[in-house]
Amino acid sequence: MIKDDDYDGNNLTHQVNYSGQPIGMEDNDQGESDGQKTYNLCFIVKLTSIAAVGGFLFGYDTGVISGAQLYFDDTWPDITDTERSLTVSLATLGAAVGSLVSGLTSDKYGRKKPIMFADILFTLGAILMAVAPTIPTLMVGRFLVGLGVGIAAQIVPLYLSEVAPVEIRGQLVAFNVA
């Protein structure tokens, strides 16, 4: 169930302008009946930004740990292979858990709140990893980042598919997933 208060006026399926067209999409100025539509550029830029960031997070977080591992021994000389492996894999575990709980959460609270929560988790996890004095702190940061990435990976494409204009919906969702 999608709550109505989850939408902020950019919801194309509920709000229409005076001509009955969804917000963000109007008939062209010439009044032609060829079916061409114009889009609210600001709205489309926002959607594209959401798609780009949502798709970028998982790849970035997965890739950045491989470079960071080079400096583990300098920062924590006594790190074991098990700790190193756990540090790398906890983000994936967090992503799995995040994606599993995000469906129920988004049904209960709407789409935007879980996306904002994922952003907060990702930010907190990144801060924890940046200042981690110990390996367990680094692991907690990796798990939090994974939770945020998992929630975003599940909910952002769903949100985009619900609010994007029909004519460009597939392109935006594919841009997010690619």
Domains of the chain: 10-30+37-177 (1.20.1250.20)
What is the model's pLDDT at position 19? Answer: 44
Range with the poorest average pLDDT among 51-60, 103-112, 135-144: 51-60
What is the model's pLDDT at position 15? Answer: 39
What is the model's pLDDT at position 95? Answer: 93
Going from the C-alpha of 153 to that of each of 33, 49, 74, 176, the distances in angstroms are 39, 14, 33, 9
Q: Which of 51, 44, 50 is nearest to 26 (CA)?
A: 44
Q: What is the three-class DSSP state of 1?
A: coil
- What is the overall mean pLDDT for the chain? 78
Going from the C-alpha of 38 to that of each of 25, 50, 165, 167, 170, the distances in angstroms are 6, 20, 10, 11, 17
